[in-house]
Amino acid sequence: MSTGKKIAIGSGIAVIVLAIAGIAVHQSHKGVVTVQTGKADAMDLASIVSASGEIKPKTYVNIGANAFGKITRLYVKEGDRVKKGQLLAQLENVQSSADVNATQAGLEAARTDAVASDAALNTSAADLNRAQSDLERAQLDWTRAQGLYQDALIAKSEYDSRKAAWQSAQAGLAQAQARVAQAKAQKDSAERHIAQNAANLTHAADVLRKTTYGAPYDGMITNLPVREGETVVIGIQNSPGSTLMTLADMSVITAEVRVDETDIVNVRLGQPAEVSIDAIPKKTFKAVVTEIGNNAIVRSTGVSTSQQTSASQEAKDFKVVVTLQEAPENLRPGLSATAKITTATRNHVLTIPIQALTVRTWTDLKASVEKDAVQAAAPPKEASKRTDEIKDEMQGVFVIRAGKAEFLPVETGITGVTDIEVLRGLKPGDEIVTGSYKVLRTLRPGASVKVDNTAPKKEDEGT
């Protein structure tokens, strides 16, 4: 065989070998999925519930009108800090002052009448004593006259005179007794007039007092909707009265936020929180949960479900109040705030990135993988359950083993911002598939994978 033919045959064989090798390499890479991975690692974890709301003082009061009248003087302006008892506003009080003065004069007159009636009673009592003495003396003279007249020692005229004197003394005693009773009645009437005028004075003084408004406690004037010269009215049924101002106790500041109904079950009194305020960027304030609402609030209307007559399927929130521990003095009620409440903490627990967690149905898993993984991941109490009693869906992660993705069911605990606690199913250092999201949705157990953890390149602008 010639040399040329040998070269041609060798070249052909080499081409065939290369083609077979290329086909083999292509087939070996066919079905390989490129994934991103991470490690199951031990770390400290905190579960946080975030909710938005606004800054509010713990204690505030709307000072409303207690009387009808015109505002003659406002002693404060919005934003002023006041002390307890400090004068805030004054209403017109000409008539109420006159009523107080007139009632005071009437009370003094009643007291004077009471003094006069007491003196009259004393005089009547003295007259009664004198009449009693006169009657006793006349009684003795009349008794003596009767004996002397029987012995014919006095004349008939003197006998009649002493009898008349005794009868006159009796009449005088009855008259004195009547004057005493009259004086007592007059004294009682005077005392009742005093009580009546005192009650009228209390009423008039209360009306006058309601024209003057003082601060019930130390605080800040946060709202002042009225001006001097305006007329305010007192509230009546189904008609609220005028509000003069709002006084807030700024010594204790809270943030009132709304927590989603899915998170409220994890919120407890006393849990720590961090509050950020839009008006004070790049700064957070420590706080603690001090109040949790019991009634759900419809998110779209802000109305409590207890006030609705029909059921609603809309999203609902619950009111939660957190008290700031060191609030700055420049805070104002109504500022927008966000509270991050720490509902649970775990120290040095096994965690994985949240995005690594996925769900598969049992029909997607191989029987052998299913049985072994369930026994490894399930708690001891559940390990004895039959496979047909297990739910159709199972949460788990894909672990890289020998270049393949193996699905392992896991039991999870608390959820942090980016990581989630793993209670059972993984060991520290296990390499798990974390992305991409599209791959995790379609990845099947046993699939061959290629790890590529390089950061994705940013696309050029305009492309």
- Tell me if 216 is assigned to some domain: no
Within a 10 A sphere around the Cβ of 165, how many other Cβ atoms?
18
Does residue 195 sit in the same domain as residue 117? yes
Global pTM value: 0.63
- Tell me if 427 is assigned to some domain: yes
pLDDT tens per residue across span 54-96: 999 988 899 988 888 899 999 999 989 999 999 999 999 998 8
- Tell me if 316 is assigned to some domain: yes
Does residue 341 sit in the same domain as residue 381? no
What's the domain range around 362?
33-46+348-451
Does residue 101 sit in the same domain as residue 202? yes
Q: Domain boundary at 329, 345, 361, which?
A: 345
Does residue 100 sit in the same domain as residue 202? yes
The whole-number pLDDT of residue 180 equals: 86
Q: Domain boundary at 153, 183, 209, which?
A: 209
Quote the number of domains for the chain. Answer: 3
Residue pair 256/56 in contact by the 8 Å Cβ criterion? yes
pLDDT classification of 169: cutoffs 50, 70, 90: confident
The whole-number pLDDT of residue 10 equals: 62
Tell whether the model's pLDDT for residue 373 goes beyond 60: no
- Tell me if 460 is assigned to some domain: no
Does residue 369 sit in the same domain as residue 418? yes
Does residue 427 sit in the same domain as residue 444? yes
pLDDT tens per residue across span 84-135: 999 999 999 998 899 999 999 999 998 898 888 888 888 888 888 888 888 8
Within a 10 A sphere around the Cβ of 104, how many other Cβ atoms?
16
Does residue 100 sit in the same domain as residue 205? yes
pLDDT classification of 215: cutoffs 50, 70, 90: very high
Does residue 203 sit in the same domain as residue 100? yes
**Over 374-441, what HEC string results?**
HHHHCCHHHHCCCHHHCCCEEEEEEEEECCEEEEEECEEEEECCCEEEEEECCCCCCEEEEECHHHHH
Query: How far is Cα 387 from Cα 270, in angstroms, rounded to an integer?
Result: 43
- Tell me if 88 is assigned to some domain: no
In the chain, the amino acid numbered 185 is: A
Query: How far is Cα 20 from Cα 368, in angstroms, rounded to an integer?
Result: 35
The whole-number pLDDT of residue 320 equals: 95
Residue pair 81/220 in contact by the 8 Å Cβ criterion? yes
CATH code of residue 321: 2.40.30.170
